[in-house]
Amino acid sequence: MFSCSPNSEHAPAADVSEIDKKVDSLLALMSVDEKIGQMTQLTLDMVCYGEPYALSEPHTIDTAKLDVVINQLHVGSILNCGGHSYPREKWLDMIGDIQRKASKTRLGIPILYGIDAIHGVTYTDSSTLFPQQIALAATWDTALVRQLAEMSAYEVRASGIRWNFSPVLDIARDPRWPRFWETFGEDVKLASDFGEAMVQGYQGDAIGDAHVAACLKHFMGYSVTLSGKDRTQAWIAERQLREYFLPTFERAMDAGAMSIMINSGEINGIPVHVNKNILTDLLRNELGFEGVAVTDWEDIKYLVTRHRVAATYKDAIEMSLAAGIDMSMVPVDLEFPVLLKQLVLEGRVTEERLDLSVRRILKMKYKLGLFETGVPTIADYPKFGSEEHHALALKAAHESIVLLKNDNLLPLSEGAKILVIGDGANSLNILNGGWTRTWQGADPQYNTPDRATVYEALQQHSDNVQWITEQEFLSMRMTQKYDCIVAVISESTYTEKPGDIEDLSIPLQSARVIDKLDYLQLPSLVLLIEGRPRVLPASIEKINSVMLAMLPGDFGGEAIADIVFGKFNPCGKLPFTYPRHASSHTTYDHKYTDRIDTDFSQNAFDPLYTFGSGLAYTTFAYSGLQIERNELGMDDTLRVDVEVSNTGNRAGAEVVQLYVSDSVATITPSVKRLRGYRRIEMAEGSQQQVRFDIPVRELAFVGQDLKWVLEPGKFSVQIDTLVIPFTVR
């Protein structure tokens, strides 16, 4: 049913390794109950005092519950926190208790502990929180993202944890979707490059004492539901599934990703958790993935209660295992192992099927060194939350911020008189978003101490900064003059289902703030702090400056202030298309028919800000676009050169973007597709020659037979406004 991309090479299995031998030896000793336990994953709530979602404070391991979970049910994996972050000492104590209990069992198989550390160690106090994925994509800096992933892995290991449920490799094609900000944007290449870099950073060349296992989320097609809401139905043709939604995962698998989490939703009426075509035929047989496939939260039970494709929980377990699930994130009941044991006794699930999954789980545990190394001490990881890590997070925040418009307002002079508007201007939670110390990231009592909000950071540059709410601004008479009014337009924190919205437009009160700024013709910066592009009123086009900060993390306030006052020259570029209208969110790689307007002109694609756009406090000019050869064969390389000049009066960074258009194809071609990019640093007045080498095979698309194909014909390459044609023979 499925076929791989033309650039993938999945090597045959190597000779049996030492780990394989150890796994086979251990597996031969295991009972059915012990095997089933390895396939079971419970949340931490199930081994603590209190009830799930209502634990007793402070959270403490209940030794009686832990005994049941490990000694009676033989559970092999635990995840999550009890609702909020813990000090590192607390993590090490709790995980130490869990691992010591596991070490005393008959076979001494350690627990595989997992956590959502998606922008730093989100559930460990005082960890280094860097920008969320959508903001990282705005850096167009894969080397930096690999460094951040390495830093995050180090701090995850310092917390006693070995498994990270990250990165998210869904692509963000619909801004209504509440997990938009957890992705690397709308483009397949950009998201694939960043996903590969993040996996390489988490896992390293080999798992050492500063690395963790990555878990790719959410395989696949999760991000394009019909309604735009979380975990609702999607209709995706197989051709689109292969060309747009598979490549990000395939690249990360080729980079060595050790595990994958399954899409909670359904595609074309089939929940992915029971889709054998995706989980076995594609993932295992075609892609050759040998890692662990874990469900998302309670998703096997949801086959009964939500999707209604199974009559009973027991049936759902049988169906999901038949499809290809290895580990069930139960996570708050003890029925799964009991029911799976019944299925084995009834002959509905074979022991050989258990062995298939348990072998993968044990192999992952061995690769992570869980059998050889214990729980670390505080002293083992001295760089946790260090100034070195803080500097890297600040660098990422700087690079992630996108200046969308600037009519000679920014940068401001030190000491400028500023009026700051908006509740989000004095909130650290707003800068971080969801998955920050708590699931929704909304509880300020767990925030990192001494990190500055936007308002507080601006105060560090001027003694003349005033802050008011949106409502106060709307009701006040402007009797004072300001050098700049900074209107912070922000979303509340959210992720997953609580982030569903009915309208992509910003709230009415925020729109009225922008309208009033336009009406009074005040010198204004609209600062957008949001996880998805919320539609703005038409008056935004009359505002002097517009800046987008997509959840830049703990150091976001400082980074924003540095840009506002010119200490840092902005360099972020949009990783998505910013819509002008709430019902028009067409991506940059749209088709030619998407351009046909009501008057039959070609002007229908009219976003507020285009993919890849972003300004600096300097200017760049492009010239001399040339290609080595105008005619190329299928196996040739497209070599492109262009000259970039910094024509402004200060040093800055530019992202050179190369797009290719296919003139005619048997599947309607996109107007253009990103095929290469290069981030360069340039001194004032300097020039630089930039070269791209693009294998012609990378211009392929998925054809009518669902296989990747490159057809001969006419193409064109574009950098900035420069275009040059070429032919593929």
For 264-306, the pLDDT digits (tens) are: 999 999 999 999 999 999 999 999 999 999 999 999 999 999 9
Residue 14 in this model has a pLDDT that exceeds 90: no
Would you state the structure tokens that stand for residue 81, as one six-digit string? Answer: 């926190």
Angle of helix 387-400 relative to helix 142-158, nearest 10 degrees? 140
For 560-571, the pLDDT digits (tens) are: 999 999 999 999
**What pLDDT, on a 0 to 100 scale, did the predictor assign at position 214?**
98
**Rounded mean pLDDT of 534-548?**
98
Beta strands at 112-115 and 77-79: parallel, antiparallel or unpaired: parallel
For 77-112, the pLDDT digits (tens) are: 999 999 999 999 999 999 999 999 999 999 999 999
Which residues 6+ apart lie within 8 Å of 119 measured at CB?
A: 129, 130, 131, 132, 133, 152, 432, 435, 436, 551, 553
For the stretch 539-555, what's the b/e string if a residue is b when 16 or more beta carbons lie within 10 angstroms of its beta carbon? bbeebbbbbbbbbbbbb
- The confidence band for 702, taking pLDDT boundaries of 50, 70 and 90, is very high
Query: DSSP string of 563-591?
Result: HHTTSS------SS-B-SBTTB---TT-B
**Rounded mean pLDDT of 593-610?**
95
Other residues' Cβ atoms within 10 Å of the Cβ of residue 624:
12
Beta strands at 328-329 and 292-294: parallel, antiparallel or unpaired: unpaired
**Rounded mean pLDDT of 35-48?**
98
Look up residue 346 and give its DSSP letter. T
**What pLDDT, on a 0 to 100 scale, did the predictor assign at position 252?**
98
Mean pLDDT of the chain: 96
For 634-675, the pLDDT digits (tens) are: 999 999 999 999 999 999 999 999 999 999 999 999 999 999
Residue 9 in this model has a pLDDT that exceeds 60: no
For residues 336 and 318, give the distance between their C-alpha atoms in angstroms, rounded to a whole number: 11
Q: Name the region of 132 (left: φ>0; alpha: ψ -120 to 50; beta: rest).
A: beta
- The confidence band for 206, taking pLDDT boundaries of 50, 70 and 90, is confident
For 391-431, the pLDDT digits (tens) are: 999 999 999 999 999 999 999 999 999 999 999 999 999 99
**What pLDDT, on a 0 to 100 scale, did the predictor assign at position 8?**
44
Nearest to 321 by CA among 331, 307, 336, 305: 336
Residue matched to tokens 């603590």: 48
Q: Which residue ranges form the domains of the chain, and what is each CATH number?
A: 23-380 (3.20.20.300), 389-595 (3.40.50.1700), 620-728 (2.60.40.10)
Share of the chain above pLDDT 70, in %: 98
Give the dihedral sign, CA 341/345/346/350. Answer: positive
Share of the chain above pLDDT 90, in %: 96
For 666-688, the pLDDT digits (tens) are: 999 999 999 999 999 999 999 99
Active-site amino acid positions: 296
CA distances from 268 to 224, 225, 274 (A): 12, 10, 12
One-letter identity of residue 119: H
**Rounded mean pLDDT of 238-245?**
97
- The confidence band for 16, taking pLDDT boundaries of 50, 70 and 90, is low
**Rounded mean pLDDT of 173-185?**
97
Other residues' Cβ atoms within 10 Å of the Cβ of residue 9:
7
**What pLDDT, on a 0 to 100 scale, did the predictor assign at position 93?**
97
Residue 3 in this model has a pLDDT that exceeds 50: no
- CA angle (127, 129, 132) in 5-degree steps: 150
